[in-house]
Structure 1
């Protein structure tokens, strides 16, 4: 069995020199590096592909940091990303932050230490510390879903899409529209979608009762509780509810059904995501279809362009959307 000492002997260097090169933990002359790599490839001390990556610095791996592995929208984005990258011989290494901004920063550092050729981040927020860490990376980097100035990104037109959905609800005769959102630390889903809602209501000159606006988290149960709070605390009940995700909307639907309310006869309901589940609930959910699979494909093309050109563009891709008009409105 070949050992690091044998590699060092054959390359006429010290074991410490071999270790420094393998771990990239110190200076190794180019001449010594070439001799070590030649021995590694000849002896099979490490697989030849690994030796090649040490020489070329090309691992053919892209790190992908995700907010939640169980999310259908995340799955669709990853499928689009992986399809494009696989065609170019790349593999993806997934990291799940579980909606924890601190873990996003930890994974950025971890992936950089693994010598990935690029990183794609589906971010939960755009806090200052995260932006600082991104600027330190010095590897191709793309953000999906959040707009970070100066950073290549693939985003959705959150304000316009939300505004159009509120316009649609009002067009259907609903002037009392409630809102179930998430924390505004999630700039895209929490802040931008809320801005779209408020702007649309203001545009139509419609009042908003304070208790019509509820903040939840990203699950069905939270949507249920938010709907309960709206119905139990409002002096005037809404005739329609807009939730910033399909899961929240389905949670709200469960509460309304439990209370014997008919959808859409007694109250209308709309969400965001065009999830598969949204079309199988009763009634099927009116929702916004953001092109998550396309977002993954666009992110992959961006990262590949950055790798091949060895430059970091400041481009921002804004994707289109569509309203899926079903029987819940």
Structure 2
């Protein structure tokens, strides 16, 4: 069955197409009797307004693009839910994309969202696309960076940002291991092209210097995946001078660290201590885990990002300077 048109709805209700449009868009005066006739015709014909036509008329698609490294990661799911709970009230929907930590895929996704005429973009960048991001923002596209900054941080300061205090958080996390007497530390880090990788590693080195240690830990640089955590533990356990503690700077990598330690028959913290930047739900299943972790608040970050998005889309006030919200997170311990 062919879809009903606005002309057919108008004919059924015995009004003009302009009147139908006013009723559906709630714009302009229409009597209650006419409204009732139009809505009865809409229901009878099962009329569905054209989203494309509506977006062209209002110059909005009511779509917000969200690009994160991995939408299945609970951390990014939490951020996305916070955003959705704010912008959804205003009728906006989210279009989710995973870059898989690939700058090339991220570049294609940015182009795709621009072609889809989204009203704004939320981006946790994989790195390598600073020029394209700045160009897109300069064209008038509202862009809110979450979790990660641009590689060129000076240029990135012109964009809205919601992130964590990565350097200080990682420093406090590593300090917990150092306070417990560990001096041989293994670090599981992400790629240096990503600001979270650079800042969190800098935080670990900062803590080691403050404790009077040579800032030269055993390092495994991965790509924020569970497999990277597994590979890192295998590398550390085979080292001539095995670390007595591991600090993993991402929740997904931390899961891999825990899995491989348990698989190897080691106990936490008796045989090797672990600290994670981000809570790992599986950690609570370990017996006497003694696992340190940074308590993140992704949902709250999403709420803040959503507030900024609505302000930019509405253009309620001139953007004299970017909104910057940095979340401070504390260290907790399981067990």
> Which segment drifts farther, 260-269 or 44-53?
44-53
SS in structure 1 of the partner of residue 94 of structure 2? strand
Relative to the length of structure 2, the TM-score reads: 0.78
2:84 & 2:280 partners in 1: Cα distance?
A: 20
User: Equivalent residue for 1:180?
Assistant: 188
Post-superposition CA distance 1:76-99 (Å, at most 9, x none): 111111111112221111122122
SS in structure 1 of the partner of residue 312 of structure 2? helix
Post-superposition CA distance 1:115-136 (Å, at most 9, x none): 2211111222264334344334
Picking from 212, 217, 221, the partner of 2:227 is 221
2:138 & 2:90 partners in 1: Cα distance?
A: 27
Check if 1:200 corresponds to 2:207.
yes
SS in structure 2 of the partner of residue 124 of structure 1? coil
2:19 & 2:52 partners in 1: Cα distance?
A: 13
Q: How far did residue 208 of structure 1 move? A: 4.7
Q: How far did residue 183 of structure 1 move? A: 1.1
Say whether the 8 Å CA contact 1:41–1:48 is kept in structure 2.
Answer: no
Picking from 65, 77, 80, the partner of 1:78 is 80
Relative to the length of structure 1, the TM-score reads: 0.80
Check if 1:287 corresponds to 2:287.
no
2:77 & 2:254 partners in 1: Cα distance?
A: 20
User: Equivalent residue for 1:145?
Assistant: 147
Gapped runs of 5+ residues in structure 2?
8-16, 23-44, 150-155
SS in structure 2 of the partner of residue 297 of structure 1? helix
1:130 & 1:49 partners in 2: Cα distance?
A: 28
1:257 & 1:52 partners in 2: Cα distance?
A: 56
Gapped runs of 5+ residues in structure 1?
8-36
2:295 & 2:58 partners in 1: Cα distance?
A: 42
SS in structure 2 of the partner of residue 78 of structure 1? helix
User: Equivalent residue for 1:33?
Assistant: none
User: Equivalent residue for 1:25?
Assistant: none
1:126 & 1:203 partners in 2: Cα distance?
A: 33
Say whether the 8 Å CA contact 1:67–1:98 is kept in structure 2.
Answer: yes
> Which segment drifts farther, 68-77 or 96-105?
96-105
User: Equivalent residue for 1:163?
Assistant: 171
Check if 1:256 corresponds to 2:261.
yes
The 1:76–1:281 alpha-carbon spacing in structure 2 relative to 1, beyond 3 Å, is farther
4+ residue segments displaced more than 6 Å:
none
Alignment length, in residue pairs?
293
Check if 1:296 corresponds to 2:302.
yes
SS in structure 1 of the partner of residue 330 of structure 2? strand
Q: How far did residue 137 of structure 1 move? A: 3.9
Say whether the 8 Å CA contact 1:65–1:122 is kept in structure 2.
Answer: yes
Q: How far did residue 231 of structure 1 move? A: 2.2
Q: How far did residue 303 of structure 1 move? A: 0.7
> Which segment drifts farther, 93-102 or 190-199?
93-102
Post-superposition CA distance 1:126-156 (Å, at most 9, x none): 6433434433441211010112221101011
Say whether the 8 Å CA contact 2:273–2:291 is kept in structure 1.
Answer: no
Q: How far did residue 284 of structure 1 move? A: 6.4
2:148 & 2:308 partners in 1: Cα distance?
A: 15
1:123 & 1:177 partners in 2: Cα distance?
A: 28
1:250 & 1:96 partners in 2: Cα distance?
A: 20
